[in-house]
């Protein structure tokens, strides 16, 4: 039972039920929407089973073997300074909040100055006497070009004024006083050249500052007075503080995409991207060996939307992860990756299970056979070039030996190849619980999806043969290829066959192990023709027999498990021979009859033919039945008649006559009898 839905909560899913096929089952999904992610889960269709974990896929065209366009799959990505943005549905450089802090303590409030970014001090010396400045990057708030204007440096006032006046328009600059700046850098009174220059940075409080007071500003060249962050503290009023924050895009970062697995050969990676002018992306395939070891293969910087992977050897690196390094441009614009698709040839998948491995018997006697057969499937996506197949027999004592060791070449996807073996239990193998062990690719030479479905055990049981002698059911005596009952007639000149189904321990090659007597006289080995079937464990002893009329017998003796000839015959048959051909015991049954009857009779020898004619009591022939020699047998015979005349019409009720005539050469014998039709 399969549930498939466009939402992971399976609200109003499509439900599909399908009977299990052999080994694997295909389910066709129709009407799928392009670029839509679908979620599915499965269970056995009964009340006692539970759903599997939830899986998902994206319907895409072209049909990549691997595709991802979502970044919220937990644990499958590695990020540094990058995020998956759900608004733009892309991977891009992350942002961070930069905090610029400017502190100023007057001579009686600590006497220090500080310019910090994210808690990191950028002033080499915070305990100075005068004014410190730093140009501030307007994009990142990062302080650069730190300068000090200290007391009592001569000309410091003119130097500060000239510095500020030469600043380019819109320049951001941080300024902070440590201890005191009125004595030297600023001058004692309002309206000094440096104070007037600082007003061009947007300062409101610059003319108010007197001896040992604190003041901090983040000025901007050309700003209107009072429009910039600024703090002024009188003597004993504490530390002046300016704090500014800004969200900033990282300069660089990387994403490591999920593992792309089970490739037999690599083709290409295709990206959907957006790369602003000056930004860039570097792609680095990371090869993953079968043992899990990783190797960085090469750097690939491009504005193209694809990477050729044909030069990567999938036999060495059947799995890859793609590392994408993102670099922002000077405007802090990030490149974006919307999706990654991989095209490659997937590996084979060898598999066997209880449906593909069979035996014709699960219990045998010692010395019997059991037939093993199996189909080895490839349910993967590519040809399995060379597949080693091994069949072992595991005996009851857990020892084993090999039965089949072969190789399948070019096992194609969604196809199978068959093996079979006929195992004959021998006395050496013993009895008890046995197993066939079928191993597919035991050396793991074929890289495939799943390795744990390549071994299958098929058990069977061998029953111990407790018989110590040959039973009568194991011996058959035939005259002219037909079995007889006691006192049956046989031909005077007959071909006799004594057939023996022998157990494991029987010494079949010992001609004295079976002894045949006719009328008490032994038929010795030189007069016997032996034929052996060691697969079926059968032997046949054939000889010709010529006998006079009268009663005769045949006795068969065999050796037992101890090598002794039995003191009683295993088989003893009595039969009759007649030198004259006769037909005896002629009847029809049933009589009277309604819908049909059988003519029965005994023959002492095979005639050339038997003819049965049916007459009315007035002597008119109404039906003739001829029986050829091939349809007759010595002894009892039975011929059916449906009770209809030569025209196919049913006979009327009444008494009729029939004459049975037997012919052989010049010998003719007839018997006349009555029959009755009663409906």
pLDDT greater than 70 at residue 237: yes
Two tokens at 284?
């680095």
- Among the listed ranges 229-243, 529-543, 616-630, which one has the minimum average pLDDT value? 529-543
Q: Average pLDDT of 520-533?
A: 93
**Cα 251 to Cα 280: distance, rounded to the nearest angstrom:** 11
Any idea of the CA torsion for 521, 522, 524, 530, to the nearest 10 degrees? Answer: 120
CA–CA separation, 85 and 91 (whole Å): 6
| Per-residue pLDDT reduced to its tens digit, 341-398 | 999 999 999 999 999 999 999 999 887 889 999 999 999 999 999 999 999 999 999 9
Stated as kind and residue range, the H or E segment containing 40 is strand 37-42
Q: How far is CA 176 from the centre of its chain?
A: 71
Q: How many CB atoms are located within 10 Å of the residue 95 CB?
A: 15
pTM value surpassing 0.75? no
pLDDT > 80? residue 650: yes
Name the band, by pLDDT with cuts 50, 70 and 90, for residue 302: low
* pLDDT, tens digit, 9 for 90 and up, residues 409-425: 999 999 999 999 999 88
Q: What is d(CA 528, CA 547) in angstroms, rounded to the nearest whole number?
A: 17
Give me 593's structure tokens. Answer: 């009859």
| Dihedral sign computed on CA atoms, order 10, 15, 20, 24 | negative
Mean pLDDT of 579-595: 93
- Given a cut of 70, is residue 303 above it in pLDDT? no
Per-residue pLDDT, 413 = 94
Q: What does the DSSP 8-state code read for residue 199?
A: H
Strand partners, 113: 104
Residue 199 has φ and ψ, to the nearest 5°, of -65, -25
pLDDT above 90: percentage of residues in the chain = 80
Q: Would you state the structure tokens that stand for residue 253, as one six-digit string?
A: 């970062």
Residue 165: what pLDDT? 96
Collapse the DSSP code of 558 into the 3-class scheme (helix H, G, I; strand E, B; otherwise coil) and give the result.
strand
Instruction: Judge whether residue 579 has pLDDT over 70.
Output: yes
Q: Residue 294: what pLDDT?
A: 95
What is the rounded average pLDDT for all residues in the chain? Answer: 93
Residue appearing with tokens 């029987």: 506
Q: Regarding predicted confidence, which is higher, 451 or 457?
A: 457
Q: By three-state DSSP, how is residue 128 classified? A: coil
Q: Tell me which residue of 424, 339, 411 sits closest to 90, measured CA to CA.
A: 339
Q: Taking the chain, what is the end-to-end CA distance rounded to the nearest angstrom?
A: 63
Answer whether residue 153 shows pLDDT above 90: no
Give residue 645's pLDDT: 94
- 69-112: pLDDT as tens digits: 888 776 789 999 999 999 999 999 999 999 999 999 999 999 99
Going 178 to 195 to 151 to 162, the CA torsion angle's sign is: positive
């Amino acid at each position: 039972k399969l549930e498939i839905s466009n939402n992971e909560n399976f609200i109003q899913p499509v439900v599909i039920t399908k009977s299990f096929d052999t080994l694997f089952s295909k389910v066709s999904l129709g009407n799928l929407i392009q670029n839509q992610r679908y979620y599915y889960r499965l269970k056995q269709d009964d009340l006692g089973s539970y759903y599997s974990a939830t899986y998902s896929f994206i319907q895409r065209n072209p049909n990549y073997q691997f595709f991802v366009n979502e970044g919220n799959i937990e644990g499958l990505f590695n990020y540094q300074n990058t995020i998956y943005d759900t608004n733009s549905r892309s991977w891009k450089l992350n942002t961070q909040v930069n905090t610029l802090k400017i502190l100023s303590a007057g001579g009686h409030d600590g006497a220090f100055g500080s310019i910090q970014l994210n808690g990191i001090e950028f002033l080499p010396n915070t305990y100075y006497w005068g004014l410190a400045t730093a140009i501030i990057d307007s994009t990142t708030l990062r302080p650069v070009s730190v300068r000090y204007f200290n007391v009592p440096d001569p000309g410091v006032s003119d130097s500060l004024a000239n510095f500020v006046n030469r600043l380019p328009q819109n320049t951001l600059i941080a300024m902070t006083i440590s201890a005191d700046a009125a004595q030297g850098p600023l001058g004692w009174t309002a309206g000094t050249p440096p104070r007037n220059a600082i007003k061009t940075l947007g300062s409101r409080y610059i003319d108010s500052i007197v001896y040992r007071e604190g003041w901090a500003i983040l000025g901007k060249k050309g700003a209107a007075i009072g429009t910039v962050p600024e703090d002024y503290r009188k003597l004993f009023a504490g530390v002046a503080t300016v704090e500014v924050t800004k969200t900033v895009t990282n300069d660089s970062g990387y994403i490591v995409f999920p593992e792309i697995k089970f490739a037999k050969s690599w083709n290409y990676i295709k990206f959907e991207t957006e790369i602003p002018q000056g930004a860039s992306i570097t792609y680095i395939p990371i090869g993953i060996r079968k043992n899990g070891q990783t190797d960085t293969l090469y750097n690939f910087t491009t504005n193209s939307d694809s990477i050729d992977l044909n030069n990567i050897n999938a036999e060495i690196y059947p799995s890859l992860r793609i590392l994408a390094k993102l670099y922002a441009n000077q405007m802090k614009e990030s490149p974006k990756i919307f999706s990654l698709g991989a095209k490659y040839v997937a590996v084979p998948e060898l598999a066997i299970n209880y449906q593909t491995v069979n035996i014709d018997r699960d219990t045998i006697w010692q010395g019997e056979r059991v037939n093993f057969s199996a189909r080895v499937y490839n349910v993967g996506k590519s040809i399995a070039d060379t597949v080693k197949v091994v069949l072992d027999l595991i005996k009851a004592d857990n020892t084993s030996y090999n039965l089949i060791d072969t190789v399948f070449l070019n096992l194609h996807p969604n196809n199978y190849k068959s093996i079979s073996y006929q195992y004959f239990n021998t006395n050496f193998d013993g009895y008890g619980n046995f197993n066939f062990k079928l191993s597919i690719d035991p050396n793991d030479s074929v890289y495939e999806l799943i390795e744990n479905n390549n071994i299958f055990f098929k058990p069977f049981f061998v029953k111990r043969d407790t018989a110590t002698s040959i039973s009568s059911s194991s011996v058959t005596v035939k005259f002219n290829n037909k079995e007889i009952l006691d006192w049956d007639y046989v031909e005077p000149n007959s071909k006799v066959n004594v057939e023996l189904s022998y157990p494991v321990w029987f010494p079949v090659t010992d001609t004295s192990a079976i002894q045949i007597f006719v009328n008490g006289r032994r038929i010795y080995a030189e007069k016997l023709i032996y034929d052996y079937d060691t697969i079926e464990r059968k032997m046949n002893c054939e000889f010709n027999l010529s006998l006079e009329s009268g009663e005769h017998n045949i006795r068969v003796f065999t050796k037992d498990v101890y090598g002794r000839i039995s003191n009683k015959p295993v088989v003893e048959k009595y039969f009759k021979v007649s030198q004259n051909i006769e037909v005896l015991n002629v009847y029809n049954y049933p009589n009277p009859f309604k819908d049909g009857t059988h003519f029965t009779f005994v023959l002492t020898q095979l005639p050339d033919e038997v003819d049965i004619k049916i007459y009315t009591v007035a002597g008119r022939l109404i039906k003739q039945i001829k029986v050829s020699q091939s349809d007759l047998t010595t002894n009892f015979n039975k011929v059916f008649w449906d009770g209809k005349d030569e025209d196919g019409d049913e006979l009327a009720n009444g008494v009729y006559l029939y004459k049975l005539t037997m012919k052989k050469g010049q010998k003719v014998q007839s018997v006349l009898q009555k029959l009755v039709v009663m409906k």
